[in-house]
Amino acid sequence: MRIELVKRKEHSRTMALLSPLIAVALTALSAAILFSITGHNPLIGLYKFFIEPLTQQWSLEATIDKATPLILIGCGLAVCYLSNNWNIGAEGQFVVGALFGSALPILFPSFENVITLPLMLLFGAIGGALWALIPALLKTRFNTNEILTSLMLVYVAGLLLDYLVRGPWRDPDGYNFPESRIFSDAATLPEVFGGAMSLSAPITIIIAIVLAIVLAKTLKGFEIRVMGESPRAGSFAGFSAKRLTLFSFAIAGALAGLAGTMEVSGALNQLLPSISPGYGFTAIIVAFLGRLNPIGIIIAGFVLALSYIGGEGVQSAMGVSNEIASVIQGLLLFFVLACDTLILYRIRMVSRRVPTGETSHV
Amino acid sequence: MGDSVAETTLPEVDEHPVQQDRSEKDTLLDARGLTKRFGDILANDRVDLIINKGEIHALLGENGAGKSTLVKMFYGSLEPDDGEILWGDRKVTIGNPAAARELGIGMVFQHFSLFEALNVVENIALALPNPGNMQDLAKRIETVSRDYGLPLNPDDIVADLPVGIRQRIEIVRCLLQEPRLIIMDEPTSVLTPQEADQLFLTLQRLAKEGCAVLYISHRLEEVKRICHHATILRHGQVVRECDPTLETPASLASMMVGADVAAVSAGEQAPEIGETRLALQGLNAKAATPFATALNNISLELRAGEVVAIAGVAGNGQGELFDAISGEMPAAASMIHLDGRPCGNKNINWRRKQNAAFVPEERLGHGAVPGMKLSQNIVLTRHGTGDKLVGAGFVSNAEASVLEKRIKQAFDVRMSHDDPEARSLSGGNLQKFVVGRELDRNPGILVVNQPTWGVDAGAAALIRQALIDLARSGSAVLVISQDLDEIFEIADRIAVISRGFLSEAEPATDMTRERVGLLMAGGAETQGEVA
């Protein structure tokens, strides 16, 4: 018996829908095995991890809070990945966006009026886009590998944040704690739906829907998809690969930067040495689990947000290390990419008839 | 330009091989009921084939008829699902190519598997099970290659060699293993007529020595000329066996297609010379990569109403010339004029808006996006040409499907269901689609590279006729092709490209195959040195 992958003539629509579900199922199965080898009841573990966060008001709200930046960053990354630009540095773009967005309330705390918040969001988007354009320019001008450069800039951005929060942007009234001043009300993202969620959630959903339409219906979306699948055909269509690289990095950086600003302006209300539990990296998984489709990414964002809340849940309830969340996220990405193979290939079991090469050696 | 080559007269190829009575000959390979299935497709359906010793056996069939599948089973790279192979009188299972070589089966592939940075002897040593001492091997290569009329210099670096010589390396590599059966997949598609003649002599000599040749080719003229026996496959089944010397190319073609192939008619009237629509003036371009070809001072005028063909052996700058004319490779503005307007520096969409249309050689991945539907692939080249496909930045899927249906109908593009992904179409059907997509615009200037490459006879006739009809309606058509039969069938004037130089375009009626062949070989100095 051996297993063969047989290429399909066309992409399977069924599998395109099923593959993320199969990946989630396999991840749950692996998680169950992990729970049992660490001496825990796998069923209770899975329940605490995947289900319980959905049963309570507070954890549901926390899930939405976590899902929001994941979805927004994931949407931007989808534009990059669809066009074959491997932006791995959304975490850095998120941080630099947060820095640009925070500049206004930190440096000009008395500038308080209705345009404070829109300006912050705009600056945040610009900051993220500029940071993302660095690897894009390096790629288009010098042919560098954007995976490496975008990733390395994550650490540069992290150190920049650390320096600012401990140095020039430290709260003068903050007893030397490494934190910025607390943002004024005018610089704080309001809550909506009776406090159930921050304004960032509806903004994110609207952006995702607009992006879904752009990708599916417009010539720009067509260009992005063509370039991702077949750059030579893209240039035959008259599209410029370099311009699209700059465009897609700028979009991804802007959305990550916007997410960063909304995070500090809404959830945290100040700058801290660490403002992200790895949203920029987890969003890579979100983008792929959502099949690089903004609507799919909304769903995928919730699934991954659950893993943060669920990780804390199993830690407090069962004493399992919080690292389990990262392990499960990693497994999920692994299974998503593996299951994507099934969209263009199908599995066939082959039983060997005769051992080959035997008679030919006579 | 090729006068010195003209003096080297080649020995006459034996035009009429003596027909042998097959039953009396020694059977070398006897395949019985070979069946191979890929998913729902039956690629080979109970194929019986007998190859005798010393026989040049043609394997004919349209694209997708199952020829490659069959020979891959002989060469051990595919495993039959059913049926058996007798080698001599012994039943064998050929598990892998090494086992095939051990039996004495060699194969020369259509696409070479040579390392360009290595020299001849190194490339051959890599493929031999026991290459031994390199100096001895170099001597053997020299002797064997000279004996068989395929001289090689063992120290030459492959990257410097023209395609014809590269093929010799593959053949000599086979010969060194003293094969009893050589499988050749479209060997002459990369050769000039003179090089092909040389190859035929080698094959005839091999056959005299008792080695069998299984010969796959689309060129029916040459099959008739050198093959002793032909097996014709259609839809994975053997439909006919015949003696090709008693057939005509047309009768062979109709056996392959299963119906009569319409002859292409160039129209009664010679084309009226119209105004110049495409002009190349001193077009120069540097080679973009070490393995690309530079274009050297190319000039050509293409007039309304005519089909001009550019002949040449693969890799002599055809792709680069196409890219420069289409605008994928920028040039100086004055080097290219469309309807009198300088446009060497304009992009491809600007040129399309000038009513020019382009069909590249590679259909999948250049002319079409494999994973996109046909309707989306129409948007690919027509989003800027005023076909109402794009309005306010939005793509109209409805308009795209209207066009898709129209093209499908007009060019008989066959598909299993409506609007499939481009990758699911067979090569011939996809070619009809990418050519049809541009012809449907009724362009004033059409540039097409290898319009019928790998396309079956029926589809090729349809495409060629459409190109002629377009020209006769007042457009200018430039065809870049490596198929001389095609060129003489459709061209009003013929130019030849060699090492990035283009010869003067001369009326087709004044051209002969020999002259075209000499022009093709004109720039290939290395060839003259070795021979």
Q: How far apart are CA A179 and CA A175, in angstroms?
A: 10
Residue of A nearest to B85 (CA): A360
Domains of chain A as residue ranges with CATH = 2-357 (1.10.3470)
Give the pLDDT band (50/70/90) at residue B108.
confident
Q: What is the mean pLDDT of chain B?
A: 85
pLDDT attached to residue B18: 45
Contact B383 A230 (CB under 8 A): no
- % of residues, chain A, pLDDT over 70: 96
> Which architecture, in CATH terms, is B3-18+53-79+94-257?
3-Layer(aba) Sandwich (3.40)
Looking only at the bridges linking them, the beta strands covering B105-108 and B181-185 are parallel
Identity of the residue in B39, B349, B365 whose CB atom sits nearest the CB atom of A232: B365
Share of chain B above pLDDT 90, in %: 41
A218 touches chain B (CB under 8 A): yes
Q: Do domains B3-18+53-79+94-257 and B262-355+443-531 have the same CATH topology?
A: yes
* Residues 417 through 446 of chain B touching chain A, CB cutoff 8 Å: 420-421, 423-424
pLDDT band of B261, cuts 50, 70, 90 = low
Using the predicted structure, report yes or no on whether residue B150 has a pLDDT greater than 90: no
The pLDDT assigned to B5 comes to 40
**Per-position DSSP letters for A17-85, written without gaps between them:** HHHHHHHHHHHHHHHHHHHHHTTS-HHHHHIIIIIGGGTSHHHHHHHHHHHHHHHHHHHHHHHHHHTT-
Residue A178: pLDDT over 50 = yes
By C-alpha distance, the chain B residue nearest A224 is: B380
**Res B6: pLDDT:** 40
Range name among A286-290, B46-50, B338-342, B516-520 with the lowest pLDDT average = B516-520
Query: Which of A116-120, B152-156, B268-272 holds the top average pLDDT?
Result: A116-120
Chain A nearest C-alpha distance from B498 (Å): 25
Name the DSSP class of B421: B
Model confidence at B25, in pLDDT bands (50, 70, 90)?
Answer: low
Mean pLDDT, range B287-307, rounded to an integer: 86
pLDDT, residue B448, reads 96
Q: Which of residues 342-361 of B touch A (CB under 8 A)?
A: 347-349, 352, 358, 360
- Mean pLDDT to the nearest integer, B46-74: 88
Residue B22: the pLDDT is 64
Q: What is the pLDDT of residue A292?
A: 94
Q: What is the pLDDT of residue A362?
A: 31
Cα B403 to Cα B387: distance, rounded to the nearest angstrom: 9
Q: A358 contacts in B (CB within 8 Å)?
A: 93, 95
Q: Which residues of B touch A361 (CB under 8 A)?
A: 99, 102
- The string of pLDDT tens digits covering residues A106-131 is 999 888 889 999 999 999 999 999 99
SS3 A4: strand
Greater confidence (A357 vs A183) lies with: A183
How far is A250 from A76, CA to CA, in rounded Å?
A: 9
Interface with B, mutate which of A236, A345, A351, A354 (most B CBs under 10 A): A236
Predicted confidence band of residue B291 (pLDDT cuts 50, 70, 90): low
Query: Which of B102, B370, B379 faces A230 most closely, judged by CB atoms?
Result: B370
- Closest by Cα among B493, B516, B512, B506 to B305: B493
Residue A222 is predicted with a pLDDT of 96
Cβ atoms of residues B439 and B466 within 8 Å = yes
CA B375, chain centre distance (Å) = 28
pLDDT over 50 (residue A361): no
Evaluate if residue A66 carries a pLDDT over 50: yes
A262 pLDDT higher than 90: yes
Higher pLDDT, A287 or B260: A287
Contacts of A232 in chain B (CB under 8 A): 362, 365-366
Residues of A in contact with B420 (CB under 8 A): 9-10
Cα–Cα nearest to B123, from B90, B162, B168: B168
Chain A neighbours among B 447-476 (CB < 8 Å)? none
Smallest CA–CA distance, residue A166 to chain B, in Å, is: 47
B36 pairs with which residues across the strands?
Answer: B44
Q: Which residues contact A197 (CB under 8 A, 6 or more apart)?
A: A61, A64, A65, A68, A191
pLDDT(B512) > 90: no
Instruction: Determine, for residues A229 and B90 on separate chains, whether the beta-carbon distance falls below 8 Å.
Output: no
Rounded alpha-carbon distances, angstroms, from residue A25 to A19, A46, A337, A348, B108 = 10, 11, 14, 21, 48
Decide if A9 and B379 are in contact by the 8 Å CB cutoff.
no
User: In chain A, which residues have their Cβ closer than 8 Å to the Cβ of B367?
Assistant: 233, 236
Residue A258: pLDDT band with limits 50, 70, 90: very high
Q: How far is A218 from chain B (nearest CA, A)?
A: 4
Q: CA nearest B100 in A: which residue?
A: A360
- pLDDT for B525 equals 29
d(CA B206, CA B235): 31
Confidence of residue B21 (pLDDT cuts 50, 70, 90): low
Contact between residue A68 and residue A255 where contact means Cβ atoms under 8 Å apart: no
Domain ranges of chain B: 3-18+53-79+94-257, 262-355+443-531, 366-441
Chain A contact probe: residue of B35, B323, B347, B369 with most A CBs at under 10 A: B369
B524 pLDDT band, cuts 50/70/90, is very low
Asked if pLDDT for residue A354 goes beyond 70, the answer is no
Distance separating alpha carbons of residues B529 and B472, to the nearest angstrom: 44
Distance from CA of A227 to the nearest CA of B (A): 9
Q: What is the pLDDT of residues B81-107, one digit of tens each?
A: 999 999 988 899 998 888 898 899 998
pLDDT at B2: 39
What is the tens place of the pLDDT at every residue in B317-356? 899 999 999 999 999 999 999 999 999 999 999 999 999 9
Please name the residue of chain A whose CA is at the shortest distance from the CA of residue B381: A237
Window 314-333 of B: residues touching A by CB (8 A cutoff) are 326-328
Residues of A in contact with B416 (CB under 8 A): 9
Encode pLDDT of B164-201 as tens digits: 788 889 888 888 888 999 999 888 777 778 888 888 99
Rounded average pLDDT over A168-195:
86
Lowest-confidence pick of A144-148, B165-169, B363-367: B165-169
Write the pLDDT tens digit of every residue in A212-235: 999 999 999 999 999 999 999 999
Considering just the CA atoms, what is the radius of gyration of chain B in Å?
24
CB contact under 8 A, A219 and B390: yes
| CB contact A229 to B (< 8 Å) | yes
Inter-chain CB proximity B93 and A217 less than 8 Å: no
Res. B14: pLDDT tops 80:
no
Express each pLDDT in B470-511 by its tens digit: 999 999 999 999 888 889 889 999 999 988 899 989 898 888
Q: How far is B82 from chain A (nearest CA, A)?
A: 10
Report ipTM (2 d.p.): 0.82
Judge whether B388 is closer than 8 Å to chain A, CB to CB: no
Of B241-245, B321-325, B416-420, B475-479, give the lowest mean pLDDT range.
B416-420
CB contact under 8 A, A226 and B92: no
User: What is the rounded (10 degree) CA torsion for B268, B273, B275, B277?
Assistant: 60
- How would you classify the pairing of strands B27-38 and A191-192? unpaired
Report pLDDT for B313.
76
Whether the CB-CB separation of B57 and B211 falls below 8 Å is answered with: no
Tell me the pLDDT band of A352, cut-offs 50, 70 and 90: low
Residues in chain B: 531
Which class would CATH give B262-355+443-531?
Answer: alpha beta
Cβ atoms of residues B447 and B357 within 8 Å: yes
